[in-house]
A and B are shown apart, each in its own frame.
Chain A
């Protein structure tokens, strides 16, 4: 014991270490705060790019119709047709590669401000599959953690340590340095055509149709299924007309994807329309409507969007 006491009081003992560490921490926290605040400022004044689209979805859009989903929303639903034929404003909040957590996070951000009249939720094969990457990708919502309490629940799903990491002011903007910088310029606007959130694909597929088997079961993620239920419940609570859609594929299937069956079942339980185009003959027989096997191109998007609107008009 006496040895330890000597160590504490000697010049380069525990106290000295604590003092040095504390000084270092102060320096570090100060820098972190200054740089983090600068990033925050830049992030929220972007005018283009992917991060801008997310920020616009959460904080700015007031469209009557919103389209949720991943790339199969973003690249397949053209809001122009929805606006023309349904006489309402429309924005596509889909984002490439994003899982259901993202859709629900955005929905929370939107619902804090207003209730849209109609929502389309695009659901794809394997939407409930258990994948670590789905949790990693919640990362794009981190910038909203500080100012959007309603989105925290989804963001905290990312990992058990997220709250700890979010103590840093820089962390929410990790890896975004160049993207935010470019988002503040006009560069992106000349790069991608962005039609109210819809990004057209120009390719044309020329290959024979292949067969995919869904007989092998994937492990499902209950968090994802719960988030899906919450998405439906929140829409019902806010009196939003919700359509859940499975858009076209260019592939023959053996069996049905488990995620899609479950999504369908839950939709029916809640009296929500589930519209399935995955086995639509027009698309299965026309590879030229596709950019690749899971995304329709511009021409395909025109036909698909209008087909969907026809369907809605009949139902109403």
Chain B
């Protein structure tokens, strides 16, 4: 069930209604039951894998705390290995078998099979359980915190399960911390009008970003980038820039919905996006983009690596950058393109790291407005470039796309002007809101206006915009006949 579907809408309404009728003490049980239902809807069996992860994590954490001190490390390692092994198996089994297969290049198909997808006979068709990597990351974070002695192990497996399975964050995060959620689960959460109002507003804003902006942009992006060989450099450049906004609207929209849903229930989840496209460098960008994941990597991956290699001086940081971002890239999916995506981040972060004093001095000589504009253009531009690798199906395809951008001249592809118009309007509106929040936060308050009518008109407008311009299904499409 994705948040933008009607089944989820019905599920959530009935769930939230019953949630506030449940006795305060047992509301977490209701959350757990509903999360299980949400998780098992569609594919009931993968819960077995998640349940084993939860059990191992819970058990080992307790043993680490209660058992003799020489047993701490074995239990810790065992739990970590189980977590990582399952993640690696489910996410990457296909990747490794297909890499071997591609290298050996056994089959060569002569005849084009109408409608039948070309299938690799050696691929194990392994389907990863929903939200596996989120559960694993959160479990690992929990174990490390206990190992470091920063937090107590949770005795009640019910609480731990509710934390790991909490349905608003299971599909796309944020990557939560146990010590951020567990205390909230144990807190009594009485009905609170402000929470519900704030939560619903966030959900509407997230829906708007996802349906009106992201899904709209994806129509043009898919049409051009999936057939890049037929398009001019200009069209590809537009599609690539659109893709940056699509990614942002899609991901942050979905996160806003997750935060909103949790808020309705009285929970605060971690902030995941802080207007990243207005960052003035890629370093700053990564502090504002998917924050819960980048801080997770900073705490449990980057910092330990950099500290252990600190005798290398400044190179320890560079080393840690590359290892961290290549891993982060690879986590997105089993494909070399993600490795390149990660390496590109490591590369630019290194350069920014070495030039930061010089850039700081330079900034003092440039007017702030110009400085902001240059910074934003650079951030969006570089991120767009790296996203070409993120999106393409192979490194070779990405390089072809980049070459076309610079070599193939031609008109902008406009098969369906409606889509371009809606796309530009969407980006314009998103930029307007982000700029306002970043630079003029106290001016023209519409969404938080003190007049009830104006506030409500704003949210009505967002909902109406979804009905007018949201993408509900493939109803609007670009029809290709190459």
A-side residues, CB < 8 A to B, are: 3-4, 7, 12-14, 16-17, 20, 23-24, 27-28, 31-32, 35, 71, 96-97, 125-126, 129, 132-133, 135-137, 139-140, 159, 161, 164-165, 168, 170-171, 173-175, 177-179, 210-216, 218, 254, 257, 292, 294-295
- Whole-angstrom distance from the CB of B431 to the nearest CB of chain A? 20
State how many angstroms separate the Cβ of A9 from the closest Cβ of chain B: 12
A163 to B: closest C-beta gap in Å: 11
* C-alpha gap A4/B18 in the complex (Å): 12
Q: Which of A28, A31, A139, A213 contacts B114 (CB 8 A)?
A: A213
Evaluate contact between B116 and A23: CB separation under 8 angstroms.
Answer: no
Is B473 engaged at the interface, CB distance under 8 Å to the other chain?
yes
- Nearest chain B residue, comparing its CB with the CB of A8: B191
Q: Which of B457, B467, B482 has the most CB of A within 10 A?
A: B467
Q: Which residue of B lies closest to A24 (CB)?
A: B456
Q: Separation in Å of the A192 CB from the closest CB of chain B?
A: 13
Query: Does the CB pair A175–B456 fall under 8 Å?
Result: no
Min distance, Cβ B378 to any Cβ of chain A, angstroms: 33
Question: Which residues of the other chain, A, contact B45 by a CB distance below 8 angstroms?
Answer: none
Instruction: Verify B472–A13 contact, CB threshold 8 A.
Output: no
Q: Flag if A170 contacts B111 (CB, 8 Å).
A: no
Whether A295 and B113, one on each chain, are in contact in the complex, defined by CB atoms closer than 8 angstroms, is no
**Known interface pairs A174-B472, A177-B468, A212-B111; 16 further A-B residue pairs with C-beta atoms within 8 A, sorted by A's residue number:** A3-B190, A7-B190, A17-B193, A17-B196, A35-B464, A97-B479, A139-B473, A161-B6, A170-B468, A174-B468, A175-B422, A178-B417, A178-B421, A216-B114, A292-B482, A295-B481
**A212 CA / B460 CA spacing, docked (Å):** 52
- Tell whether B12 is near chain A: CB-to-CB under 8 Å: no
Size of B's binding interface in residues, CB under 8 A: 42
How near does chain A come to B219, taking the closest CB pair, in angstroms? 10
Contact of A218 among B115, B194, B469 (CB under 8 A): B115
Give, as a whole number of angstroms, the nearest-CB distance from B209 to chain A: 17
Query: For residues 452 through 482 of chain B, which have their beta carbon under 8 Å from a beta carbon of chain A?
Result: 452, 456-457, 459-460, 463-464, 467-477, 479, 481-482
Measured CB to CB, the nearest residue on chain A to B5 is A161
Contact indicator A28/B463 (Cβ below 8 Å): yes
List chain B residues, Cβ under 8 A from A125.
Answer: 114
Tell me how far the C-beta of B242 lies from the nearest C-beta in chain A, rounded to whole angstroms. 17
User: Which A residues are in CB contact (< 8 Å) with B197?
Assistant: 17, 20
The 10 nearest A-B residue pairs measured at CB? A139-B475, A216-B116, A136-B474, A136-B473, A12-B193, A170-B467, A161-B6, A178-B418, A175-B476, A97-B479
> A126 contacts which chain B residues (CB < 8 A)?
114-115
Q: Give Cα distance in the complex from A168 to B6, angstroms.
A: 14
Report A-chain residues with C-beta under 8 Å of the C-beta of B112. Answer: 210-213
A84 to B468, CA, bound (A): 44
Task: Give B475's nearest chain A residue, CB to CB.
Answer: A139
Select which of B194, B464, B479 is within 8 A of A31 by beta carbon: B464
Q: Are B115 and A171 in contact, CB atoms less than 8 angstroms apart?
A: no
Instruction: Give how many A-B residue pairs fall within 8 Å (CB-CB).
Output: 119
In the complex, A179 Cα to B421 Cα: how many Å? 11
| B409–chain A nearest beta-carbon distance, Å | 22
Minimum CB–CB distance for A184 against chain B, Å: 14
Q: Which residue of B lies closest to A29 (CB)?
A: B460
B193 adjacent to A175 (CB under 8 Å): no
CA–CA, A97 to B415, complex, Å?
A: 14
The interface centre, meaning the residue of B21, B418, B460, B468 with most chain A CB atoms within 10 A of its CB, is B468
| Residue from A16, A24, A71, A214 with most neighbouring chain B CB atoms (10 Å) | A24
Q: Does B124 contact A (CB under 8 A)?
A: no
Alpha-carbon separation in the docked complex, A276 to B24 (Å): 70
A96 to chain B, nearest CB (A): 6
Contacts of B482 in A (CB 8 A): 292
A/B interface sample: 6 pairs, CB < 8 A: A28-B464, A175-B469, A175-B471, A213-B114, A215-B113, A295-B481
Please, which residue of chain A has its CB at the minimum distance from the CB of B7? A161
- Taking each of B114, B421, B464, B468, which has the highest tally of chain A beta carbons within 10 Å of its own beta carbon? B114
* B 394-437 contacts with A by CB, 8 A: 417-418, 421-422
Please give, as numbers and ranges, the residues of chain A lying within 8 Å of B20 by CB-CB distance.
Answer: 14
Cβ-defined contact, A35 with B113, below 8 A: no
Is the pair B115, A216 in contact by a Cβ cutoff of 8 Å?
Answer: yes
Q: Which residues of B contact A35 (CB under 8 A)?
A: 464, 468
- Is there an interface contact between A137 and B193, defined as CB atoms closer than 8 Å? no
Interface string of B100-131 (1 = CB under 8 A from A): 00000000000111111000000000000000
A30, closest chain B residue (CB): B460
Asked, given contacts A216-B114, A257-B114, whether A170 binds B475 with beta carbons under 8 Å apart, the answer is no
* Residue of B6, B21, B481, B482 contacting most chain A CB atoms (<10 Å): B481
- Are A14 and B457 in contact, CB atoms less than 8 angstroms apart? no
Q: Which of B418, B470, B473 contacts A179 (CB 8 A)?
A: B418
A27 touches B469 (CB 8 A): no
- The smallest beta-carbon distance between A296 and chain B, in angstroms, is 13
Residues of A within 8 A of B111 (CB): 211-213, 254
Q: Give chain A residues whose Cβ lies under 8 Å from the Cβ of B472.
A: 139, 165, 171, 174
Q: Could you tell me the distance in whole angstroms from the C-beta of B448 to the nearest C-beta in chain A? A: 15
Is the Cβ of A27 less than 8 Å from the Cβ of B114?
no
CA distance A12 to B474 in the complex (A): 42
Q: Chain A nearest CB: distance from B145 CB in Å?
A: 35
Among B6, B114, B471, B474, contact of A214 (Cβ-Cβ < 8 Å): B114
